[in-house]
Amino acid sequence: MKQKLILLCLFSLIQFSLFAQNGIIIYKQKDAPIEARIKDLMSKMTLKEKILQLNQYIGGYNNNANNIAELIRTIPPEIGSLIYFDADPVWRNSIQKKAMEESRLGIPILFGFDVIHGYRTVYPVSLAQACSWNPELVTQAAAIAAKEAKLSGIDLAFSPMLDVARDGRWGRVTEGYGEDPYTNAVFGVATVKGYQGKDLSDPYSIAACLKHYVGYSRSEGGRDYHSSEISRQSLWETYLVPFEACVKAGAASVMSAFNDISGVPASANHYTLTQVLKDQWKFDGFVVSDWGALTKLIAQGVAKDKKEAGLKAFNAGVDMDMYDNIYFEYLEELLNEKKISMVKIDDAVSRVLRVKFRLGLFDNPYTEIVSEHDRYLHPESKIIAQKLAAESMVLLKNNSKTLPIKSSVKQIALIGPIAKDTANIIGGWEGHGKSADVESIYEGMVKEFGKNVVLNYAKGCDFDSTDESGFREAVLAAAKSDLILVCVGEKLRWTGENASRSTLALPAIQEKLVFELKKTGKPIVLILSNGRPIELIRLEPQVDAIVEMWQPGICGGTALAQILSGKINPSGKLSITFPLTTGQIPIYYDMRQSGEPNSGKYQDIPTDPQYWFGHGLSYTTFEYGAIKLSSEKIKKTEKLIAQVEVSNTGDVAGRETVLWYISDPACSISRPMKELKYFEKKELARGEKLVFRFEIDPERDLSYTDENGNRILESGDFYVIINNQKTKFEIIE
Ligand code: GLC
C-alpha cells in the first residue's frame, strides 16, 4: 500500500512538472496540490514580493475610533492583505483586479474585516450567544454573517474572539464567550464552522481569525491594553484552551494580542506563537498582529524602535503585520543584517499563500456581485437572529410568577432609556449593522401586545446624567399601569475596545429611576441591555423580575416581547458570573479550591455573587433525578457514562440545558472547584421526562494540563456534578 502511495505521489509530481514544461504554470493550476502550488509560486517570487505578502493595510473608511487610520495609502498591487471597512464589492474587485492583472505574479489580496456578531444581519453579542447554550444555532448565525461578508468583498473575519474573561470592568468581555474555557472553546468552534463551512473554498466561506492570542482578558484591573500576569499553569489551564480547540477545528488564522504575558508581549512571544501554536499544535495558517501591536512593543518597553519591534515580532512568530507597515520597511534590512532568516520569511509567506489557496482566491479572486437587497437581511436570516436573541436572554429573577405577563394586565408602563432604543441594543463591533435595522423593545411590544394592552411609554431618564426631570412623566405612566417594564442598561461604546469601566454598576440616574418607580407600588420587571455583567446589589431587591436581554442585535424587540408574553419560555443561562459588587472581582465559578472554604469571607458584603455562571430560570420547573453512573470505578482507558433523568414538572414546555461538571478533589495541583466539561440542551414538553447523558472520556475530561501543556490524568477519586448534586467515582490505573 505504501509503495502504491509513493508511486502515486511521484506520478502526480511528474505529471505536474510535465504541465510546467508545457507552459501551464503550476501555481495557476487549480487542480494541482496546494503545497505544490505554494512551492512553485514561492520559487518565482522576489524578496520584495514576499515581504509585501506579510503586510496588511487598510482600504475604505475606518469606523473604529481606537484605530484612527491615516489616509488610504496608495495600495501596491502586491499587498498581501487589506482591512476593508466599506461594503462595496465593485470597489473591492477593482483593487483585486489591480493585484491580479497589474502585479507580476497575480497574487490575490486577502480582504479582512471585523465580522464579530454578524455583518449586516447583526445577532447578539458573543457573551450573550454563549448564554443560549445552542452552538448549532450560533453556527447558523455565523454562516449568515459569512455569506453577507463574502458578498461584500470580505475573505477573512477577525473573529471568533476567544478571550476567557472574568473581569467585567474590561470592556471587551462582551466580545468573547464568558468566563469558562470550555464554553469559549465550544462556541469558538461553532463560529469557525459557520464561517469556514465544509471547505474554505466554498463560495460563501470566509477564513476565521482566532483572537486575541493570548491572555488579553487578564488585562490588569480590567484596564484595556494593560499587562496580563498569567502563570504558565493558568495559560494552559484557562487561556489557551479555546485556541487549541479552534486550531484543531481548522481555523485559518490567528491574531496576536496587545497585552504582555507576564512581561513578554503576546506579539513578541516565541513560546506562545511558535513553540505552542506552530510547533506543538502544528498550526499551518498564518498569524497576523493586532492593529498596531508591533508599534506597541516600543511603549511596552521591549523594543527601542520600530525596527527592533519588527525583529522581535517576526522572530517570535508573527507572520503578517497589521497596519504598522514595519515589515514592509525593515524586513529586508533585517535579513541583510542576518537578524532574521530567509527560511522564516519563506515560512511566513507560505502560510499566507496557503490560506489564500485554501480560500480558492487564486482561482476565484472576485466577489460575486449581487444587489444590496439580495445581499443582506434576508427574512430567514432575521429569523435565525431573532431565535438566537431569544435563546440568549436570561430570566434572572421571577418572584411570584410575575412573568409571563398575565392577561389581566391591560396597561403596561414601558419606561427607561432602552425602551425605544435602537442605537445601542445592537451591540458593539456592529460591523455594517445599522440602527435603522434594529427593532426596539417598544416595537416588539406593540407587535406582541398592541391589540390587547395599552403601552404607556416614558423615557424617564437618559443613560447617564443628573437630569431627573423625566421621572415625573415616568411615575405618571406607571401610576396608570398594571405593570412596569423598566428598561435600563449600557450604551454601545461602554463595552468593546478601550471601554474599561471602574464599576459594573449602572449610572446612578438609572438606579434612581427604578427607586422612584418602586414607590408606585406596582409590580416591576427590570429589563437589562448591557454588554458586561451588571452590579445589581441595589436594584435586585427593588424589582419582582429581571430579564437579561443583553445586546441582542437587530432582532431583540420581538424576541423579548415573546418572552414577556410567554410565547417563548426563556432558556438562557449565564455564561459569566454577575458579581454582587465590583469589589468581588475576580469571582468566577471555576476558581481554585480554597484552603479555608468556610472562611476568608468579606466582612462587609456576602461572598457569593449575585448570580453564578450557569444561572437562568424558566417559566416551568425541571426536576433532576439522581445521577446514575455506568460504573463506580473505571480504568483510565475506559469510558464512564453519567446520566440523569430530568422531568418537566411545571405547566409549560421548556428547554433545559444540563451543565455537566467534574471535580478532582485530590490532585498533584490544586484544581478548580469544578470544571464544565459537557452540556446538552433539550426541549421537554409539560410532564415529559428525558435522560441526559455525558460519556466521560477520562483522558479528555478528567486530565489537567500542566505548565508545559502536557495532559496529565491521575488515578483517584473524581466527582461528576450537575446542579446541586455530585456523585463520586474512581479512576484506577
Ligand atoms: C482592533 C482590535 C481587534 C480588531 C483589529 C482590526 O484594535 O483589537 O480586535 O480585529 O483592531 O480592526
Question: Of 13-27, 361-375, 462-476, which range is least confident?
Answer: 13-27
> Mind listing the pLDDT tens digit for each residue in 90-101?
999 999 999 999
> Mind listing the pLDDT tens digit for each residue in 575-590?
999 999 999 999 999 9
Cell of 612: 453564578
> Mind listing the pLDDT tens digit for each residue in 60-86?
666 677 776 655 557 888 999 999 999
Q: Which amino acid is at 331?
A: L
Contact 243, 321 (CB under 8 A): no
pLDDT at 15 over 60: no
Best probe residue, ligand 1, of 175, 219, 289, 497 (max atoms within 8 Å of C-beta)? 497
Concatenated DSSP letters for 91-118?
HHHHHHHIIIIISSS-PPPEEEE--SS-
Nearest to residue 120, comparing CAs of 557, 530, 494, 435? 435
Cell of 498: 478601550
Q: Which residues pair with 454 in a beta bridge?
A: 411
Answer whether 172 contacts ligand 1 (Cβ < 6 A): no
> Mind listing the pLDDT tens digit for each residue in 122-158?
999 999 999 999 999 999 999 999 999 999 999 999 9
Q: Which residues pair with 634 in a beta bridge?
A: 731
Best probe residue, ligand 1, of 64, 212, 213, 323 (max atoms within 8 Å of C-beta)? 64
For residue 609, say if its preceding peptide bond is cis, omega within 30 degrees of 0: no
Backbone φ and ψ for 273, nearest 5 degrees, come out as: -75, -40
Cα-to-centroid distance, 68 and ligand 1 (Å): 12
Structure confidence at residue 538 (pLDDT) = 98
3-class secondary structure, 510: helix
Answer whether 290 contacts ligand 1 (Cβ < 6 A): yes
> Mind listing the pLDDT tens digit for each residue in 238-274?
999 999 999 999 999 999 999 999 999 999 999 999 9
Structure confidence at residue 651 (pLDDT) = 96
> Mind listing the pLDDT tens digit for each residue in 188-235?
999 999 999 999 999 999 999 999 999 999 999 999 999 999 999 999
- Mean pLDDT over residues 329-349, rounded? 98
Answer whether 315 contacts ligand 1 (Cβ < 6 A): no
As a whole number of angstroms, the distance between CA 34 and CA 26 comes to 10
As a whole number of angstroms, the distance between CA 381 and CA 374 comes to 12
- Mean pLDDT over residues 11-34, rounded? 72
Structure confidence at residue 7 (pLDDT) = 65
Structure confidence at residue 253 (pLDDT) = 99
Structure confidence at residue 28 (pLDDT) = 96
Q: Which residues pair with 228 in a beta bridge?
A: 261
Contact 209, 112 (CB under 8 A): yes
- Mean pLDDT over residues 12-29, rounded? 66
**How far, CA to CA in Å, does 387 sit from each of 99, 481, 558?**
41, 30, 10
Average pLDDT, the chain: 95
CATH topology of domain 47-108+247-367: TIM Barrel (3.20.20)
pTM: 0.96
Structure confidence at residue 489 (pLDDT) = 98
Q: Categorize the per-residue pLDDT at 5 as very low, low, confident or very high, splitting at 50, 70 and 90.
A: low
Q: What is the CATH number of domain 378-577?
A: 3.40.50.1700
Cell of 613: 455562571
- Mean pLDDT over residues 17-23, rounded? 52
Contact 210, 175 (CB under 8 A): no
Pairing assessment for the beta strands 55-59 and 81-84 based on DSSP bridges: parallel
Q: Categorize the per-residue pLDDT at 597 as very low, low, confident or very high, splitting at 50, 70 and 90.
A: confident
Residues sharing a CB contact under 8 Å with residue 322, sequence separation 6 or more, in sequence order: 56, 83, 255, 288, 289, 290, 291, 292, 293
Which atom of ligand 1 lies nearest, measured to the CA of 159?
10
- The 3-class secondary structure across 16-67, one letter per residue, is HHHHHHCCCCHHHCCCCCHHHHHHHHHHHCCHHHHHHCCEEEEECCCCCCCC
- Mean pLDDT over residues 422-428, rounded? 98
> Mind listing the pLDDT tens digit for each residue in 482-506?
999 999 999 999 999 999 999 999 9
> Mind listing the pLDDT tens digit for each residue in 642-661?
999 999 999 999 999 999 99
- Mean pLDDT over residues 500-522, rounded? 98
pLDDT at 21 over 50: no
Q: Which amino acid is at 144?
A: I
Tell me the domain boundaries of the chain.
1-44, 47-108+247-367, 378-577, 622-732
Cα-to-centroid distance, 545 and ligand 1 (Å): 37
Neighbours of 553 (CB within 10 A): 31
Answer whether 158 contacts ligand 1 (Cβ < 6 A): yes
Which protein residue's CA is at the shortest distance from atom 1 of ligand 1?
Answer: 291
As a whole number of angstroms, the distance between CA 344 and CA 349 comes to 9
Structure confidence at residue 365 (pLDDT) = 98
CATH topology of domain 622-732: Immunoglobulin-like (2.60.40)
**How far, CA to CA in Å, does 344 sit from each of 35, 51, 311, 448?**
17, 11, 12, 60
Cα-to-centroid distance, 221 and ligand 1 (Å): 21
Q: Which is the catalytic residue, given 290, 324, 544, 701?
A: 290
Which atom of ligand 1 lies nearest, measured to the CA of 112?
6
As a whole number of angstroms, the distance between CA 447 and CA 676 comes to 39
**How much of the chain, in percent, has pLDDT values that exceed 90?**
92
- Residue 290 among the catalytic residues: yes
Q: Which amino acid is at 383?
A: I
As a whole number of angstroms, the distance between CA 683 and CA 309 comes to 54
3-class secondary structure, 672: strand
